[in-house]
Structure 1
Amino acid sequence: MRDVAALTEEYATAASSAPHGRSAELVLKDGPLRQSVLGLAEGAELAEHDSPPAGSVLVLKGSIEIVSGSETLTLETGMLAEVPRERHSVRAVVDSAFLLTAVTDI
């Protein structure tokens, strides 16, 4: 069992002092299900990448933007959204942490 509040603070803090402004850990793995906590310092970005077959993002702290070819989705603390089904990038508007849930095989 993991303490999500503690993980939120740990990864948001680690990201703010990391050279690239990012920190992450896979916190749960169950068959094709993966859950990771990611921290991004203000202005840090995850470059454009492919989407998993299914996934969601829950913002634990801060505000992030998910940018895909068709839209920019701004999410703030407590907001939950599907991961776009196309290539996308993620940028922190402010120091942030989020829970990424992904299914790697359907």
Structure 2
Amino acid sequence: MDGTSLYALAEAQLEIARTATSGRAAVTVYGGHEHRLRQTLIALCAGTRLGEHDAPDEATLLVIDGDVALHAGSQVWNGHAGDHVILPPQRHDLEAISDSAVLLTVAT
């Protein structure tokens, strides 16, 4: 059995994001093209956004660290460390209010 500390991984990715010109970094925690489940840890510096994009079939977002805002149409969900949300089945974007790390889980 393999285990991963999401907190340690989040801190490492935040350090990378802080030096990246894009203000973000990401690493696959589990999955890939050969799996139906994929988990990606995404780190975003404060003020950074993942631009509007289509929603996958099924996905959730877990805030590991920081504060984020998920925008979907006219709706906004504000998430803080420990919060979990099911992504809406529509175009959306994600904004880091403070330096943040989230775990995106997608089922295809």
TM-score bin (small chain): over 0.9
Correspondence 1:13-24 to 2 at 5 A:
13-24=15-26
User: Match for residue 74 of structure 2?
Assistant: 70
* Shift of residue 86, structure 1, vs aligned partner: 0.3
Q: What displacement does 1:70 show?
A: 3.4
Partner in structure 1 of residue 38 of structure 2: 34
TM-score using structure 1 length: 0.93
**Runs of 4+ with >6 A deviation:** none
What CA RMSD, in Å, does the superposition of the two structures yield over aligned residues?
1.1
Q: Deviations over 1:10-56 (max 9, x none)?
A: 11221122101110011101721000000000000000011110010
Question: Deviations 1:57-103 (Å, cap 9, x if unpaired)?
Answer: 00000001110113011100000000111000000000000100001
Distance 1:13 1:74 in 2: 23
1:1-106 to 2 correspondences below 5 Å: 1=2, 2-29=4-31, 31-104=35-108
Aligned-partner Cα distance in 1 for 2:21–2:35: 32
Give percent identity, aligned residues only: 35
- TM-score for both structures, normalised by structure 2: 0.91
Structure 1 regions of 5+ residues with no counterpart?
A: none
State how far apart, in whole Å, the 1-side matches of 2:87 and 2:18 are. 24
* Structure 2, gaps ≥5 residues long: none
